[in-house]
Amino acid sequence: MVSKLRALIAYLSYSSNTAEVAALIYDKLTANEFKVDMHRIGIDPPITPDKYEIMFIGTFTWAMGATPDEVKDFVLEIGYKPENIAVFGTGDTQFGGDDLFCLAAVKLAKFYRSKWKALKIEQSPRGSQEEQVKQWVEGVMDDVKFFTRKSKNIRTNQSK
Ligand SMILES: Cc1cc2nc3c(=O)[nH]c(=O)nc-3n(C[C@H](O)[C@H](O)[C@H](O)COP(=O)(O)O)c2cc1C
């Protein structure tokens, strides 16, 4: 039996935009046989990072490109830099234009040296941006499947 790949979607959302992106990612992952845990940053009990093949972290951006304190605390809670983190964010170009747009997500992806470019969504993802979310998740899923297969093969060959 092939065991399901495990994913975490951790997100912070005050006015539901980032939560909506998290829900779209959840739908896409579960439709592709991933086992998914949702984590509301700042609300739910601490996570166990090494349980997951992939961890998604979602954040909105606060005043002048700032990262919300709850997300900073979550980063401290993780306590190290896992290699399997993909970052998504929502923002609004009205607050400082392209330079500050979703800057918290961009900074987080850089901090974790993420393999994936941060997904940046303007306000709610519903409508035309849904396709952007879908394509981004598909890219991440393909890579996770590839890397997982590769590391399993290495482990199998080493034990021969
Ligand atoms: C006071 C304030 C400052 C903001 N500053 C930025 C910013 O610098 N860059 C950005 O992209 N969005 C900024 N935003 C927009 C929010 O990030 C955006 O509305 C986001 O989708 C909210 O996410 P949520 O609905 O998940 O809480 C700001 C919003 C507020 C209210």
Domain ranges of the chain: 6-158
CA–centroid distance for 93 within its chain: 21
* Superfamily holding 6-158: Flavodoxin domain (3.40.50.360)
* pLDDT, position 160: 67
Q: Which atom of ligand 1 is nearest to the CA of 20?
A: 26
Question: Could you tell me if 121 and 129 are in contact, meaning their C-beta atoms sit under 8 angstroms apart?
Answer: yes
C-alpha of residue 62 to centroid of ligand 1, in Å = 5
Q: Which atom of ligand 1 is nearest to the CA of 123?
A: 21
* pLDDT, position 41: 98
Query: pLDDT (tens digit, 9 = 90+) per residue, 109-130?
Result: 999 999 999 999 999 999 999 9
| pLDDT confidence tier of residue 66, bands split at 50, 70 and 90 | very high
Whether 61 lines ligand 1, by a CB cut-off of 6 Å, is: yes
Mean pLDDT of the chain, nearest integer: 95
Name the CA radius of gyration of the chain, rounded. 16
Query: pLDDT (tens digit, 9 = 90+) per residue, 96-110?
Result: 899 999 999 999 999
Whether 96 lines ligand 1, by a CB cut-off of 6 Å, is: yes
* pLDDT, position 153: 78
∠ Cα 117 8 53 (to 5°): 75
C-alpha of residue 149 to centroid of ligand 1, in Å = 38
* pLDDT, position 26: 98
The model scores a pTM over 0.90: yes
| pLDDT confidence tier of residue 23, bands split at 50, 70 and 90 | very high
2: pLDDT strictly greater than 70: no
| pLDDT confidence tier of residue 1, bands split at 50, 70 and 90 | low
How many other C-beta atoms can be found within 10 angstroms of the C-beta atom of residue 142?
Answer: 11
